[in-house]
Structure formats: C-alpha cells, structure tokens
Amino acid sequence: MMWTISPEELTRLRQAVGLSSQGLAEFLHVSEATVANWEAGAVRVPFSQVRHVRWVLGFSARNQAIKAIDLPECEWSTKFEDRPEPETSEEQRRSEQEWSAHLATCRVCQEREVVKKRFPLVLPPQPLWFETLSILMGGWLPEWAEPSVPGALVFGIVGLVRDVRLTNVPGTWGTILDVVLVSMVGAAAGLAMGVFRYYRSRWKTRAV
Ligand SMILES: [Zn+2]
C-alpha cells in the first residue's frame, strides 16, 4: 500500500539506507521523537507525509548506491549537500542557481553527475487513484485539517441519499442547499477531530 507506510516498513527501509532516526527526522523537519513514535506504531505517519518519507528513503538509497562506487569527491559539493534543505521556494531557487554555477566549472562534479544518471531516483509508483484518494482524504491540507475533507464528503453523501429517499423531495435547489449545509457540518466535525488528533499526537510526542 503506497498511501501508508507501516512502522515495520519504515524502520526496515530507514535502516537499509543507513539513516539514523535523527537523520530522517532532520530531512523531514520533524522531531526525532516523532519518528520514534511512527516506528513504534504509537502515531500513524500522516497522509501528507508518506510521500515525502518515501522520497527521502528513495533518495538516501540512491546516494548510498552512488557512495558504494568510489567516485572522486568534490569538497564544495560535499559541503553543499550537507547544508539543510531549503525551506522557501526563493531559497530553493537560489540554491539551484549556486549548484548549476558550480557544476559548469567543476570537472569532478560533472563526472559525478554522469554516474548519478545511471541511478535514477526510484520512487514508488503513483497511480491516478492514489492522487484522487489523497485529494479526497485531504492530503493537500495541513495535517490537522486533513479529516475535514472526508468529513464533508461522508456527510454530504449521507445528506444527498437521505434527501433523494424522502417522499416529498425538496427540489433541486433545496437538495443542493441541504447537501452543502450538511457537508459543512461534516467538515467542521472532521476539522474538530483533526485538531484534537493533532494536538494529542504532539502531546504524545513530547511525552516520549
Ligand atoms: Zn564540484
């Protein structure tokens, strides 16, 4: 299952690429205790994070494969790669510019790039239904807001079915209004649950 990652799988993949839980936590901008909680199964890896987690693990696996061949090292690029990941798109753009400026002049890095191309970044396949499911499950929202989308959907569908089954149907507009209102209640319920779950998991994380 690609939209989730089990505690066992996470631990196994992390160890396979030689990443410490602290190292993984730094990549993901989460605390080490969060990673520990995921691996212990105390907290589920949120939908919004699963792809990022898998990406980091795939990226590390590739780096490990490249390290295994004895390539000449470039001091500049080693330092560059050790820098924390850019957080804003502006930082990201500047860092890409710096990198291409260096690459244009560095023979060692050019050679390394050629080798890297032989190790494409292996990411889990992302079928269309996954994207759809992720949208329906609120994967595009911050973690605490995720359940508001499935909440709105479930309530909306139940509202629609109830309206359609009524003997005196309230008419098209009446039905739409009903469904919208009921969906909003569902979204609010989902949001309340999400916020509660988020703060509970943060509290749990701190308690470790
Ligand atoms: Zn270089």
What per-residue confidence (pLDDT) applies to 143? 82
Kindly state whether residues 100 and 17 are assigned to the same domain: yes
Kindly state whether residues 112 and 152 are assigned to the same domain: no
Can you say how many angstroms the Cα of residue 9 is from the centroid of all Cα atoms in its chain? 16
Q: Domain for residue 123, yes or no?
A: no
Among residues 90, 116, 142, the one where a domain terminates is 116
> Which residue positions in the chain have pLDDT lower than 50?
none
Entry pTM? 0.50
What DSSP string describes 143-173?
GGGTTHHHHHHHHHHHHHHHHHHSSS--HHH
What per-residue confidence (pLDDT) applies to 169? 66
Kindly state whether residues 103 and 168 are assigned to the same domain: no
For 80-108, what is each residue's pLDDT tens digit? 988 887 778 888 899 999 999 999 999 99
Kindly state whether residues 156 and 191 are assigned to the same domain: yes
Tokens matching residue 53: 């987690």
| CA-to-CA separations, 43 to 63, 197, 207, in angstroms, rounded | 28, 10, 13
Q: Domain for residue 101, yes or no?
A: yes
What per-residue confidence (pLDDT) applies to 181? 94
Ligand 1 center to residue 102 CA distance, Å? 6
d(CA 20, CA 206): 19
For 141-163, what is each residue's pLDDT tens digit? 888 899 999 999 999 999 888 88
Q: Which residue has the tokens 């508001």?
A: 148
Tokens matching residue 176: 């739409």
Ligand 1 center to residue 108 CA distance, Å? 5
Ligand 1 center to residue 61 CA distance, Å? 22
Ligand 1 center to residue 72 CA distance, Å? 10
Ligand 1 center to residue 30 CA distance, Å? 30
Count how many domains the chain has: 2
